[in-house]
């Protein structure tokens, strides 16, 4: 009845955060036998207990191109693989490698992602065999699809948040700064793809700078890794755009959850205007800190963690799909800078009320969206 976890181990990127979240929940349930760190040379079995190569279940939270590692020197009876599409495109060869595993189970972080996975499996010849709904929920908890003699299960299992909490001193400083006319917005990206809406956010900031109501001292902090920074600079150069006044770019670095909490609480708003997301961890992290968020509500952002007190929605239409650089023929909802600007202006004008609401629900959010709570259905299946 044991589980071996395969995933990222180094740094604080999204894959590493997800791996640690799964590890936290599996260890808490007493199910974890061992961990194979896919980003260490040769992998590593971190547990000092007997190796988990014979564990009944293997759970995978890494890059899909490494999914075959679960078959190297191991004999697992069931394989559980996280697949989090960012658009309508899912590489069929990688999904085929998942399906080829013994007793494959696909874990999707949102109902939207589950639909995309199902559609791709349909294109690969799979047909739906059964599904299970919970109460009056419109989306199924799991779906079984079959092609010839091969069956695959697709489960909707949301991601969670851990280690993030309000930092009182930073929150107080943010309130005082707002009353002095300062306003700070932060945005994170670790991808060279356009799906995070970073360029559109910069264009929205340029629009806001033209408005008399917008604070002259407003600051937009873009926390980007090298790939994201270069991609943004190239896109701006292609459009003959200059970085607007008030915009700063800082390297992403390896910020721990405590460092991230301090940074988030120093800011007034987290901006996450994504065109495509597998889930969107930064919104959950900001809400756990009691920070106002401005985000889209489409793709993986539709999982529910982007809704609630202290949140502002960027207007976007799920059905208004257009091309995105996520793979051949990939589509995602469109995104307009003017809609981002409108959402940010709303956040600025009503910030004190929104901030109080966000902080007031932070504790409840941390409990509801903890990794233990969100992975509880999976843990029961693994027992």
Shared domain check, 319 and 248: yes
Which pLDDT score is estimated for 237?
96
- For residues 188 and 152, state if they share a domain: no
Structural domain ending residue among the three candidates 88, 123, 156: 156
Q: Are residues 147 and 238 in the same domain?
A: no
The pLDDT score that the predictor gives to residue 141 is 75
Residues 6+ apart with CB under 8 A from 179: none
d(CA 19, CA 1): 20
Residues 216 and 346 in one domain: yes
Residue 39 confidence (pLDDT): 80
Residue 380 falls inside a structural domain: no
Distances, alpha carbon 182 to alpha carbons 77, 264, 336, in Å? 57, 15, 26
* Cβ-contact 373, 367 below 8 angstroms: yes
186 and 328 housed in the same domain: yes
End-of-domain residue from the set 93, 122, 156: 156
Could you tell me if 215 and 130 lie in one domain?
Answer: no
The pLDDT of residue 129? 84
The reply to whether 131 and 241 lie within a common domain is no
Domain that holds residue 80: 3-108+110-156
| Domains of the chain: total | 2
Nearest Cα to Cα of residue 343 among 274, 282, 266: 274
Q: What is the pLDDT along the chain (383 residues), one digit of tens a residue?
A: 599 999 988 877 889 999 999 999 999 999 998 899 888 755 555 543 446 788 999 999 999 999 998 988 888 999 999 999 999 999 999 999 999 999 999 999 999 999 999 999 999 999 988 776 655 555 667 889 999 999 999 999 999 999 999 999 999 999 999 999 999 999 999 999 999 999 999 999 999 999 999 999 999 999 999 999 999 999 999 999 999 999 999 998 788 889 999 999 999 999 999 999 999 999 999 999 999 999 999 999 999 999 999 999 999 876 789 999 999 999 999 999 999 999 999 999 999 999 999 999 999 999 999 999 999 999 999 99
Give the per-residue pLDDT at 135: 54
Q: Is residue 161 part of a domain?
A: no
Is there a domain that residue 379 lies in?
no
Question: Are residues 202 and 341 located together in one domain of the fold?
Answer: yes
Best CA proximity match to 96, nearest among 74, 126, 73: 126
Does 374 fall in a domain? Answer: no
Question: What CATH number should be reported for the domain holding residue 97?
Answer: 3.40.50
CATH code: domain of residue 247:
3.40.50.2000
Burial profile 220-248: b = 16 or more Cβ within 10 angstroms, e = fewer: bbbbbbeebbebbeeebeeeeeebbebbe
Residue 260 domain flag: yes
- Residue 48's pLDDT is what? 37
């Amino acid at each position: 009845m044991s589980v071996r976890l395969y995933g990222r181990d180094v740094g604080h990127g999204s894959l590493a955060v997800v791996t640690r979240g799964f590890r936290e929940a599996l260890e808490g349930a007493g199910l974890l036998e061992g961990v194979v760190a896919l980003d260490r040379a040769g992998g590593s079995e971190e547990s000092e207990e007997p190796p988990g190569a014979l564990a009944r279940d293997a759970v995978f939270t890494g890059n899909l191109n490494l999914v075959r590692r679960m078959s190297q020197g191991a004999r697992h009876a069931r394989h559980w693989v996280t697949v989090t599409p960012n658009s309508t495109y899912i590489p069929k060869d990688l999904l085929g490698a998942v399906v080829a595993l013994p007793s494959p189970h696909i874990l999707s972080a949102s109902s939207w992602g589950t639909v995309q996975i199902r559609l791709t499996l349909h294109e690969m010849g799979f047909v739906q065999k059964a599904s299970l709904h919970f109460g009056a929920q419109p989306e199924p908890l799991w779906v079984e699809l079959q092609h010839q003699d091969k069956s695959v299960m697709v489960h909707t299992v949301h991601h969670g948040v851990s280690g993030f909490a309000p930092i009182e001193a930073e929150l107080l400083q943010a309130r005082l700064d707002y009353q002095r006319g300062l306003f700070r917005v932060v945005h994170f990206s670790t991808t060279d793809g356009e799906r995070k809406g970073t360029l559109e956010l910069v264009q929205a900031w340029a629009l806001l700078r033209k408005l008399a109501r917008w604070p002259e001292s407003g600051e937009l902090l873009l926390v980007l890794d090298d790939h994201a920074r270069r991609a943004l600079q190239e896109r701006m150069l292609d459009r003959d755009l200059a970085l607007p006044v008030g915009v700063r770019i800082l390297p992403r670095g390896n910020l721990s959850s405590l460092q991230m909490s301090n940074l988030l609480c120093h800011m007034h708003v987290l901006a996450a205007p994504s065109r495509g997301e597998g889930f969107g961890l930064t919104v959950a992290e900001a809400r756990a800190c009691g920070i106002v968020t401005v985000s889209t509500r489409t793709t993986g952002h539709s999982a529910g963690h982007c809704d609630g007190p202290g949140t502002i929605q960027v207007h976007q239409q799920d059905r208004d799909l257009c091309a995105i650089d996520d793979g051949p023929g990939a589509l995602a909802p469109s995104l307009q800078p003017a809609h981002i600007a409108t959402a940010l202006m709303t956040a600025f004008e009503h910030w004190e009320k929104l901030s109080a609401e966000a902080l007031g629900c932070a504790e409840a959010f941390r409990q509801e969206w903890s990794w233990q709570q969100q992975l509880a259905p999976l843990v029961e299946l693994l027992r």
